[in-house]
Amino acid sequence: MNNKSESHLKREKLELRNNDSRWSQYGTSGFYGFLDQLARRLEINVETFLVGSISLLLLSIGLLLDQFPLFVLAILLSPILSPILGFAFGFNLGAIKFLRIGFFSLLLHFVSLFVVGAFSGFIARQFPEKEFIIWQYFVDVTWAGFLLIFVGILIMVSTIIRNPRQASLVANVALAYSFYLPVVSAGFAFGIGLKNQFIAGLYTFLFYFIFAVVIGVIVLLAYRIKPIKIQNWLGVVSLLILVILGVVFFMDSEFGIDIGEDQNKINLTDTNLSFMPTQISPLPSSTSIPLPTSTMTISSNSIEQPTEVIPTLNTSTATITLTPLPVVIWVEIRSPEGDGANIREEPGFSARIIRTVLNGTAVQVLDEVEVVDGATWAHIRFIDQVEGWIMRSLIVSATPEPEW
């Protein structure tokens, strides 16, 4: 009896979904006709490879020429973001077919973008005198990036529901901006040997991608696109669990600072003010005790019974020697031919780049100055105590002026 009622309820839900006016354009297949067209739209095909290759080529040229307009052109020509939409529909409907489309398209997009970025970074490494700045804007998480993803998902899902064969160019640009650029920038950092920026770019991509999928699932639920079978809700539940685990991992890695309990304790036994009483031996007869503040002697026979021991203090005055502190010289990075400068491990254009900074960054100038490869190099230190070398012509506004 229960099985019959469950199957009857399922048929009613299917009929109700198919009778929805939104799916009437797909004939008798209704909602499932919509899903079939959407699956064909999201699957990897020749168009995906062709358009994707052009987009990757433009990204590589944009990295090497350090030109932001080429980045914009690349994401304008990028194919539809199948990884985000595939996972969103897959988790929402509990459909293995869409999850499979999302996984393989994610793998293809990620690997191709990272390889192109890493190859471009390796080429850029061969030109140590050239500054590469634009890619750094895409390796960090920003609130504007999350806002861009939110608006892009709203527009994209609304357009797809009306017609799965049509995709909003504006929405695809918004999603590609947050999907393509962090991955290719992480690959570029890997290629030129910047470990911190490489890891930051991967984290940025991961946060943006998960956020986009979650927002996609929420928007689809708002459009009343949800699983019919109870067991298909497992996709939504599993996504929720993954998000919770991701948030816990992020909070633990960013804010989980382990402070020892004994770190701030004061060890009183190390202080110089020790008033621990010592054992006092009885004084022999006719013994005189010289006091530090008097030349007068007192015979022990005149003291019948000492009742109190008074500690004596050394009245000598301590001498304090003041050592003058070295003068700290601060300068600003100011590259006249670009937006920033490369910081190298050693003086010379062949030395490894340890950091790339933007114009206006304040650094401390150290004493060492060397002439290598026909240029004068200054030894500098950042606020986080990282030291490196930079061409002296790229720093200005020293206060006080160094004696160069």
Lowest mean pLDDT among 70-74, 95-99, 292-296: 292-296
- As a whole number of angstroms, the distance between CA 282 and CA 260 comes to 48
Q: Within 13 A of 53's CA, how many CA atoms are on the CB side?
A: 5
Of 78-92, 130-144, 301-315, least confident by mean pLDDT is 301-315
Percent of the chain with pLDDT strictly greater than 70: 66
Residue-level pLDDT at 178: 84
Count of structural domains within the chain: 2
Last residue of a domain, one of 221, 253, 285: 253
Q: Measure the CA–CA gap between 145 and 138, rounded to whole angstroms.
A: 9
Residue 55: per-residue pLDDT:
92
Tokens of 103: 């996984």
Q: What angle do CA 376, 379, 383 make, to 5 degrees?
A: 140
Higher pLDDT: 367 or 280? It is 367
In terms of domains, do 102 and 249 share one? yes
**Is 122 domain-assigned?**
yes
Nearest CA to 80 out of 128, 48, 34 is that of 48
Residue 69's domain comprises 2-253
pLDDT value at residue 272: 41
Greater model confidence, 351 or 233:
351
Q: Write out the DSSP string of 4-70.
A: HHHHHHHHHHHHHHHTSGGGGGGGGGTHHHHHHHHHHHHS--HHHHHHHHHHHHHHHHHHHHT-HHH
- CA pair distance 384, 398, nearest whole angstrom: 19
- pLDDT, tens digit, for every residue of 12-68? 445 545 556 667 677 667 778 888 888 888 888 887 888 889 999 999 999 999 999
> Rounded CA gap, 130 and 127, in Å?
6
- Looking at the structure, tell me whether residues 23 and 126 fall in a common domain: yes
> Does 262 have pLDDT greater than 50?
no
- 30 Cβ contact partners less than 8 Å away, ≥ 6 residues apart: 17, 18, 19, 20, 23, 24
| Residue 147, in any domain of the structure | yes
Q: Are residues 229 and 107 in the same domain?
A: yes
Q: How would residue 205 be classed by pLDDT, with cut points 50, 70 and 90?
A: very high
* Last-in-domain residue among 253, 279, 302: 253
- The confidence score (pLDDT) of residue 117 equals 94
Highest mean pLDDT among 237-246, 289-298, 358-367: 358-367
Paired tokens of 11: 């048929």
Calculate mean pLDDT across residues 268-289: 42
**pLDDT above 90 (res 164):** no
